[in-house]
Amino acid sequence: MDRFGNVYVADSTNNDVRILQPASAGPLLTVSSTHSGNFTLGQTGATYTIAVNNALTAATTSGTVTLTDAVPAGLTLVSISGTDWSCSSNVCTSNDAVQGGSSYSPITVTVDVAANAPPQVTNEVSLSGGGSPGTGAIDPTFIGPGTPVLAIGTSLAGAFVQGEPTAVANFIVANQSAAAASSGPVTVSVSLSDALTMVSIQGNGWACTSNTCTRSDSLVGGAAYDPIVVTVAVASTAPPQVTNQVTVAGGGSAGASITQIIAISPFTCDLSGDGIVNVVDVQTLIEEVLGLIPAVNDLNHDGAINVADVQKLINAAVGLGCPY
């Protein structure tokens, strides 16, 4: 040992002399926080990995070691855990005795990123106990716009009725708020129930053919494209409920789909519901035209209940049918 406290040992392999560092007076813990890649706005399940090490020549730890992760604003703590650690809220403790040159088991901190998080946050970790001086670490984290998140919604322009020749459904593609803008072609495909027949499919800015529409202009987060308008003919024998499948793909987003369930109203000239069209039904409609009872049976679908509806009902009563 020299006057600086160094201990020299002979290395017979290399005919050399090495300095053997003396053991530290006590434990010397270090802590680090790391993450993989940039986080993104609206991301769920982003993770930090916290590592706690005892210096190579340090003494074995003793007592409780306490780690605190001050999750920054813009991130929400989902969970914090590690083998052999006891964690609650944002604090983990361990009573393990860790020798110099060894490590505690890693701690995983899982967070969700707010849709309005700032472009950079800093995860701050502090460590104390175990006989070591207190220490800490910071982990600057960039938050990017993420990826587009396209979804598709639907609405009906009025009720769908058996035999209706021009029933209309609208489909709207939107990008999630705070998501990145879409890039490249976006394609919407409509798969109709067998009880519906495509009459037309169109939309401002969309190029449509058959049952598919595409466009390539970028859609920013929180915005929506103009709707796709689908006109269909409803079979006269359509069941009370039909189902369509609609998908959206492309634009840099994961694909999305919806199941559109449509209730089909029956169309009939049998106003009394007794299974036949006869004078009872005609009398009912005449009373509606005269205002004697509420007018509800617009059989011609022209927005008024008048003599044209009565004539249609008479035709049905004499066997000429009751088309939509």
Q: Helices (H), strands (E): how many in the chain? A: 2, 22
Give the closest residue to 139 by CA, choosing from 186, 92, 107, 172. Answer: 107
Check if the beta carbon of residue 228 is closer than 8 Å to that of residue 187. no
Dist CA 192 CA 258 (whole Å) = 12
Enclosing H/E stretch for 39: strand 39-40
Enclosing H/E stretch for 264: strand 253-265
Residue 20: the pLDDT is 44
Q: How many CB atoms lie within 10 A of CB 267?
A: 17
| CA torsion, ordered 309, 314, 320, 323, to nearest 10 deg | 20
pLDDT, tens digit only, all 324 positions of the chain:
433 333 434 444 444 434 344 445 799 999 999 998 889 888 899 999 999 999 999 999 999 999 999 999 999 999 999 999 999 999 999 999 999 999 999 999 999 999 889 999 999 999 999 999 999 999 999 998 778 989 999 999 988 999 999 999 999 999 987 778 899 999 999 999 999 999 999 999 999 999 999 999 999 988 999 999 999 999 999 999 999 999 999 999 999 999 999 999 988 888 888 889 898 988 998 998 999 999 888 888 888 999 998 898 899 888 888 888
Give the closest residue to 212 by CA, choosing from 243, 231, 188, 191. Answer: 188
Contacts of 236 (CB under 8 A, 6+ apart): 162, 163, 267, 323, 324
The structure tokens listed for 282 are 């005609």
Dist CA 118 CA 115 (whole Å) = 9
Could you give all domains of the chain from N- to C-terminal order, each with its CATH number? Answer: 7-144 (2.60.40.1510), 150-265 (2.60.40.1510), 268-324 (1.10.1330)
Helical H segments across the chain, by residue range = 279-289, 307-317
Burial class for 236, CB neighbours closer than 10 Å (0-12, 13-18, 19+): middle
Check if the beta carbon of residue 122 is closer than 8 Å to that of residue 139. yes
DSSP category for residue 224? B
How do strand 39-40 and strand 132-144 relate by DSSP bridges?
Answer: parallel
Dist CA 141 CA 286 (whole Å) = 75
Q: How many CB atoms lie within 10 A of CB 57?
A: 13
Q: Is the pTM of this model over 0.85?
A: no
The structure tokens listed for 179 are 């998501």
